[in-house]
Amino acid sequence: MAEIRPDEVSAILRKQLAGFENETDVYEVGTVLQVGDGIARVYGLSKVMASELVEFPNDVTGMVLNLEEDSVGCVLFGESTLIKEGDTVKRTNRVASFPVGEKLLGRIVNPLGEPVDGRGTVQFEKYMPIERKALGVIQRQPVKEPLQTGITAIDAMIPIGRGQRELIIGDRQTGKTAIAIDTIINQKYTHTEEAKKYGVKPVYCVYVAIGQKNSTVAQVVAKLEEAGAMEYTTVVSAPASTPAPLQYIAPYSGATLGEYFRDNGKHALVIYDDLSKQAAAYRELSLLLRRPPGREAYPGDVFYLHSRLLERASKLSEDLGGGSLTALPIIETQQGDVSAYIPTNVISITDGQIYLLPNLFNAGVRPAIDVGISVSRVGGNAQIKAMKKVAGSLKLDLAQYRELEAFAKIGSDLDKSTQRTLAKGARLVELLKQGQYVPVAVEKQVVSVFVGTNNYFESVDVTDVKRFEKEFLEYVELRYSQIFESIRVAKALNDETVQLIKKAVEEFIEKFKKS
């Protein structure tokens, strides 16, 4: 417990008392007309700005959302029972803003930037408004650097670039958060000296938890800490118990922090987990503010709610420092219904989506990514050349496999080539399975995928594929580490390396013991 020294106190007292005579505090006020359900209508506050923070008694803050002819509609960030009719409301002259700075890394804060991790006040550089206009065309450039998730299936087939917005969508319990957490953990590599040497810039992460259980947030934080990922991560937490307005502003707060890194020429990754809960929170307060409901009772501007948020993800032009802000929004669907209002909206806004299917998940294919309908609309440009080269046929092979899979279940009368396609597909599916919290470096992914697509697994049992991969990668590390080195440095696959991989895999097949 920190101590306050008496001389410190007297210094502050002296300073305060010195300005006692002439210090007149000028502020503007209004009166609460009506309060309830987290909403207050206020008379007065005639000069208040939209989305300005206002102060209520008992340390409750609020935000102005509706400016009407005779009153002002405010949402409350605290208990509405602490406020009664006739209370005085003070202006703060500050639009809702979020503290930003490097010191926020490693902290857990609420959407107003107040710490919730019990580790004292947050040190910050400045306040930035949580609602900012997204950048225009001139300030941007195409996405061109990869953001490695460490998940082979994604990095090979649905690559994500720095500055992209890639939606993670799926039913409950399909591993959506797991993908996001793995991605954060995989950024640890970008903060090492080694990455610096190869020209990979560090990625700072922001995890925005909206409407989740406090226990889930604690679990995620514990996992990140365990993996040493909290050093470059900030968690913005608006759990289910917080008032709807805080849940509503949480993603904007996260985006603001991400933009701070982006605008300083750094790279940021923001995860919004999840936006369906945020939309529900926004619906709640919109209905309370008596805005007319539309489809599924969401207000008319629910599309704008998400588009203005996700549009803030960007890759800056070189003139502006070339920083980037990557957004990974998460949407939870109900019973696989992607044609509901919010999922269709967010699908249309983002630059691609990763679909997660419960039946794949239950069948043991984890991550349960449906590669058939998952796409990345811009990430392909950002893939490293080596990965582009080896992954080209991967998606095709899997598509063919899925097409024939149905036949395989019916009969045995299949011709040779069909059987080969099926065998290869089954092995590729096996290869793309990956445990949680074990991200794989890109050079290893390249080698694995190369081995898979070039059908070296033909002689290996499906059940042995994972073991083969693991032991082979260890083998390469020991005997042919120049393969990894070459991919890391050149980021491409030259003929020499290809020959070397072929040689290594042929050698290894000889030695591999079947179980």
Partner 1 sequence: MSVYRVPYRYANSLVQLAEEKNIFEKVSGDGDLIFNTLNDSKELRTVLKSPVIKPAVKKELLETIFAKNISGETLSFLNFVIEKNREDILFEIFKEFNSLVDKKNGVVKASVISAVDLNNDMKQNLLDSLEKKTSSKVVANYKIDQKIIGGFIAQVKDTVYDASIKRQLELLRKALLEDSAIYNN
Name the residues that contact partner 1, by CB under 8 A. 1-2, 4, 9, 12-13, 16, 20, 23-30, 33, 44-47, 69-71, 115-116, 118-121
Half-sphere exposure of 235 (CA within 13 A, CB side): 29
Q: Exposed e or buried b for every residue in 467-485, given b needs 16+ CB within 10 A?
A: ebbeebbebbeeebeebbe
Q: How far is the CB of 320 from partner 1 (least distance, A)?
A: 35
Q: Which is nearer to partner 1, 121 or 215 (CB)?
A: 121
Q: Which is nearer to partner 1, 107 or 312 (CB)?
A: 107
Separation between Cα atoms, residue 112 and residue 89, nearest integer Å: 19
Task: Tell whether omega for the bond before 351 is within 30 degrees of 0, i.e. cis.
Answer: no
Q: How far is the CB of 113 from partner 1 (least distance, A)?
A: 12
166 in Cβ contact with 446 (< 8 Å) = no
Among the listed residues 377, 402, 467, 488, the single catalytic one is 377
Q: How far, in whole angstroms, is CA 52 from its chain's centroid?
A: 27
Q: Which is nearer to partner 1, 47 or 511 (CB)?
A: 47
Backbone angles phi and psi of 28, in degrees to 5: -110, 145
Place of tokens 């995989």: 186
Q: Which is nearer to partner 1, 33 or 340 (CB)?
A: 33
283 in Cβ contact with 297 (< 8 Å) = yes
377 in active site: yes
Q: Which is nearer to partner 1, 116 or 338 (CB)?
A: 116
Half-sphere exposure of 66 (CA within 13 A, CB side): 21
Q: How far is the CB of 239 from partner 1 (least distance, A)?
A: 15
Separation between Cα atoms, residue 408 and residue 186, nearest integer Å: 37
The H-assigned helical ranges of 442-494 are: 442-453, 465-479, 481-490
Q: H/E element holding 222? A: helix 214-226
Tokens of 218: 């604690």
- Which residues have CB under 8 Å from 491's CB, separation 6+? 384, 385, 386
Q: How far is the CB of 322 from partner 1 (least distance, A)?
A: 37
Q: How far is the CB of 213 from partner 1 (least distance, A)?
A: 19
Q: How far is the CB of 311 from partner 1 (least distance, A)?
A: 35
Q: H/E element holding 395? A: helix 385-410
Q: Which is nearer to partner 1, 24 or 515 (CB)?
A: 24
Q: How far is the CB of 47 from partner 1 (least distance, A)?
A: 7
Task: Say if strands 126-129 and 97-100 run parallel, antiparallel, or are unpaired.
Answer: antiparallel
Side chain identity, residue 152: T
Backbone angles phi and psi of 483, in degrees to 5: -65, -55
Catalytic site positions: 377
